[in-house]
Amino acid sequence: MTDTEPTDTPPFDAARLAKAVRQRLQSLQRSGVSSIQTQTGQSVDLHQLQNQLQHIQQHGLPEVQSAALQPSADESDTTPVDTITNPPVTAPAPPNPTPATTPTPAPEPISSNSTTPSTAQESQVMPSKKQAELDIVCQEVADCTACVELASTRNKTVFGVGNANARLVFYGEAPGADEDKQGEPFVGRAGKLLNKIIEAMGLTRDEIYILNTIKCRPPGNRNPTPEEQQNCAGFLKRQLEIIQPEYIVCLGAVASHSFLECNTPIGKMRQQFFEKNGIKVLCTFHPAYLLRDPRRKRDVWDDIQFLMKDMGLPIPKKSEGVT
């Protein structure tokens, strides 16, 4: 093929897009949403919409609609505004190198009042476009079988949940039994405690984003292996490139060590910010650890207040259920 020859346009995959949208609607239904409003103000029942999408996923679009999506020969040099095209799929980024077995110090902390570029403010990408890009990665995760053991034992992959334009991301360890059943991170006992922390910050789960180091539950709730983390590293990188958060809170030693590629004890990483790819990173204890040792709740709340001050959020006088 010469440089002047046109390239073929990828075919529109209605079934794949329908499946990705269905997964997003299922997440909304799990959070209690039963209907949504269109731009014209019309209320649409999510259950009915799910059925319509399932039909498209199984049988494709009706022929009259499918034909309408294909430009005629006279239109081949133009791009109609009502033509639906399949978003480009970005190739998975190369995996991060496996952490060294010898102790690796944490990156140099940065000052809490230092100024880092706000990529969330610099990039005014519409939330719907960001969510569409996340849905594509989510579908790739659902189809992934790189970790043979995890792929053969999982019920559902756990991609992540929250606001595609979030300033703040909570980064956990790995899905547990409850997450494996529901396909959403932090929905068990530890998740309920995390919800209280988020609410004490004056935020909701819809305003932040939550994800894990890996997307499948390790059998027996064991820690994810370096190889498993490596297999998921490309997905994580693409999620963060789409969301572009200003802050990430690493919950627990596994998440902190994996993201910052170090072996520093978690207790020595608290109350300070680290920088990675222009993002401020704070490390604190995992909510599951707090359930085992409630005395550490005060430490986590101190870390969260440290974060809130830097984010410019008001500090509440009471923190019921958190400390």
Beta-strand pair 168-172/247-251? parallel
Angle 243-245-250 from CA coordinates, rounded to 5°: 110
**d(C-alpha 173, C-alpha 160), whole Å:** 12
Buried b / exposed e across 140-174, counting CB within 10 Å, b at 16+? bbeebebbeebeeebebbbbbbbbbbbbbbbbbbb
Q: Is the pLDDT of residue 270 over 90?
A: yes
The whole-number pLDDT of residue 146 equals 97
Which residue segments constitute the domains of the chain, with CATH numbers given?
A: 14-75 (no CATH), 119-311 (3.40.470.10)
Beta-strand pair 279-284/247-251? parallel
Tell which wins on pLDDT, 116 or 83: 116
Question: Which of 44-58, 94-108, 287-301 has the highest average model confidence (pLDDT)?
Answer: 287-301
- Tens digits of residue pLDDT in 136-167: 999 999 999 999 999 999 999 999 999 999 99
Longest dimension (CA), the chain: 72
3-state helix, strand, coil in the chain (%, to 5): 45, 10, 45
Tokens of 215: 């997307």
CB 296 within 8 A of CB 264: no
Q: Is the pLDDT of residue 307 over 90?
A: yes
Distance of CA 204 to the CA centre of its chain: 15
The whole-number pLDDT of residue 54 equals 66
The whole-number pLDDT of residue 76 equals 38
Residues 6+ apart with CB under 8 A from 220: none
Tell which wins on pLDDT, 170 or 106: 170
Of the candidates 83, 93, 86, the one whose C-alpha atom is nearest the C-alpha of residue 20 is 86
| DSSP string over 171-194 | EES---HHHHHHTSSS-SHHHHHH
Q: Coil, strand or helix: which one is 306?
A: helix
The whole-number pLDDT of residue 118 equals 43
Per-residue pLDDT band at 105 (split at 50, 70, 90): low
CB 246 within 8 A of CB 280: yes
Q: Is the pLDDT of residue 27 over 90?
A: no
For 248, the enclosing helix (H) or strand (E) is strand 247-251
Tell which wins on pLDDT, 52 or 305: 305
Tell which wins on pLDDT, 164 or 37: 164
Per-residue pLDDT band at 282 (split at 50, 70, 90): very high
| Predicted TM-score (pTM) above 0.75 | no
Crossing angle of the two packed helices 14-30 and 46-59, in degrees rounded to 10: 150
The whole-number pLDDT of residue 128 equals 82
Tokens of 140: 């790739």
CB 246 within 8 A of CB 168: yes
The whole-number pLDDT of residue 318 equals 79
The whole-number pLDDT of residue 123 equals 44
Per-residue pLDDT band at 6 (split at 50, 70, 90): very low
Q: Is the pLDDT of residue 298 over 70?
A: yes
Mean pLDDT, rounded, for 54-64: 63
The whole-number pLDDT of residue 7 equals 43
